[in-house]
Amino acid sequence: MSEHALPTRFDTGDLPRNGWAGFRPYFVAVASTAVAAGIHWLCNPFYRAHHLFLFFTLSNYFLAWSYGWRPACTGMLLGLAATAYFFASLRGEFELTMTEYQSGILAYLVVTGVGIAMTEARRNAQHRTEVKAKQLMEEIAAHKITQENLRLTNSTLEAKVRERTTELTEINSRLREQIATRQEIESKLRGSEQRLIEAQRVSQIGSWEWNFRTNVLNWSDEQFHLHGLVPRESDFTYDDAMAYLLPEDAKRVRQVVDKALSDRRPFSYDYRVRLPDGSIRFMHGKGKLFLGDDGEPVRIAGTAQDITERKQIEAEWDALHQQVVASREKFRVISGRLILAQEEERRKLAGELHDEIGQVLTAVSLSIEVTKGIVDQAARARLDECLAVVDRAIDQVRNLSLNLRPAMLDVMGIESALRWFIGRQEKMTGLKIELHSSMVGQRAPADVETACFRVVQEAITNVTRYAEARSVRVELTRNGPELLLAVQDDGIGFDVAASRQRATTGSTFGLLGMEERIRHLGGNFEIDSVLGRGTTVHVRLRSAWKESLPQERSHDEGNPRPPG
């Protein structure tokens, strides 16, 4: 606030606005003027006329100092009226002339006005000083409050700064840790990238990524190397890559990629590329589709591997496989021929044993019987011993002939031959063997019947030797054009895979022989075995059937008596 804007202390305004309290200065002015007039009246005998205005002037100074210039001016006017009264009524007594009176009034007005002005100026100066002092005190108080607020603010700021500094220190520490971790990760990442590059180089696997939005195809260094190219960082498009493929392979790869885009599924393919030196390499590619937030494809990432050596090995393997297949076929043919030759030799040998050696031994037996009638008693005893030896030889020759090939298999068929063989095995081993057959009056081709007989013969022999079984069940049935054979025992079972492995190494030929016989005829041979639960041999053969007369059965399961 400027000095001219400071209000005066006793400025009452133009009109009183506070009720009777507002008129009090003016009442004081009237009273003060009346007191001055009374004092002047009382002191009049002691003063001269020029002291007419003295008390009124003092009264006006009092009013000016106490209440301001307006009440003082009012008192001055009242004092002027009082002096006019005194002059008019006491002029003779005062012995004043008009000129002296006017001069006195003028002096009164001047002195009173100057006094009022000086008093007002003094009052205003004092008031401004008081206002300034008050403002200064208020400013000092405000300054103290401001200083206290500043101190509190400063304290708060210092606390916040310390807290923030602590937080920044922690953040800085975490940032340093994150930077160190990031540097370590970046170092590991660079190492991983280097190892990936080395792994791709060693394994001959390249990687690629195709961005649909930019149509840029990014290849790894090894991908360029696989195509005989120098790595480059310039833009490489899908069509640029297809240019390195053989035309027929490029068309097929485009179809594979289009189908993958349509199906939204991963894909793989084989293709060939022509290197800058003109050589052709085989590649195997894989790709995976990545979709954007809108469900549309945005990129494909994949790998490519050089499989030229694998293709060469596969070609060599295919050729070797063809050779093995051909060798197996030749072996199967030779094996079949050997089986047929073996059976033929068995048949011939059995016939020779029965017809020739059997007849010779029979002739020897008859000769001994004749000789017994012409020798003495002592020689007859020796001839009886020789006759017993010859009879045993005849039995052995007969058994050997039947073991090689029973004649009834060719004459009476598979069912009669099996019944004879089963009855013979029951007597020799004590096993309980059951035969269930629906082959009465039916004959299969000789090779089929022979194969089935040999399977039963080998299976029961194995049961006798290894299975520790108590019973065996043989089933021989016809199912349309198929002949079904099953041999089941309740023995201890065995490991089929291990037995097959031993058969391939030459340790045993039983299983392998049975299987080769059946497969040579185009049949199916299976063995089911569980340790502790027995074994079952299954045979399935297709056959051209023919009808034959039913054979008579003996009381012993119909087993015919062997010839001889």
pTM of full prediction above 0.85: no
Q: Which domains, from first to last, does the chain contain?
A: 3-152 (no CATH), 204-306 (3.30.450.20), 411-547 (3.30.565.10)
∠ Cα 413 416 420 (to 5°) = 135
Do β-strands 297-306 and 442-443 pair in parallel, antiparallel, or remain unpaired?
unpaired
The tally of CA atoms less than 13 A away on the side-chain side of residue 40 is: 26
CA pair distance 312, 261, nearest whole angstrom: 32
Residues in contact with 542: Cβ distance below 8 Å, sequence separation at least 6, in sequence order: 481, 482, 483, 522, 523
Distance CA 379, CA 399 (A): 30
Q: In this predicted structure, what is the pLDDT of residue 467?
A: 86
Tens of pLDDT along the chain (564 residues)? 444 444 444 444 444 445 556 678 888 878 887 887 777 777 665 555 445 567 777 777 787 777 777 887 887 788 777 776 665 555 555 555 666 666 667 777 777 777 777 777 777 777 788 888 888 888 888 888 888 888 888 888 888 888 888 888 888 888 888 888 888 887 777 766 666 566 556 566 888 888 888 888 888 888 888 888 888 766 678 888 888 889 899 899 999 988 988 888 898 889 898 888 888 888 888 898 888 888 888 888 888 888 888 888 888 888 888 887 777 667 666 666 666 666 666 666 656 555 566 667 677 777 777 777 777 777 777 777 787 777 777 767 666 666 666 767 777 888 888 888 888 889 888 889 999 988 777 788 888 888 888 899 889 988 988 888 999 999 999 888 888 999 999 999 988 888 877 776 655 667 777 888 888 888 899 999 988 889 999 999 887 555 544 443 333 333 333 333
In the three-class reduction of DSSP (H, G, I as helix; E, B as strand; rest coil), residue 1 is classed as: coil
Task: Give bridge partners of residue 528 from the DSSP assignment.
Answer: 536
pLDDT digits (tens, 9 = 90+) for 116-133: 777 777 777 777 888 888
The Cα–Cα gap between 86 and 33 comes to: 13
Would you state the structure tokens that stand for residue 77, as one six-digit string? 């006017």
User: Cα(527)–Cα(338) distance, rounded to whole angstroms?
Assistant: 24
Residue pair 113/67 in contact by the 8 Å Cβ criterion: no
Residue 360 CA to residue 353 CA, distance in Å, equals: 10
CA distances 348 to 213, 340, 393, 404, Å, are 86, 12, 19, 9
| Tokens found for residue 157 | 């700021």
**CA dihedral sign, ordered 441, 446, 448, 451:** positive
User: What whole-number distance in Å separates Cα of residue 40 and Cα of residue 38?
Assistant: 5
**Both structure tokens of 501:** 């492995």
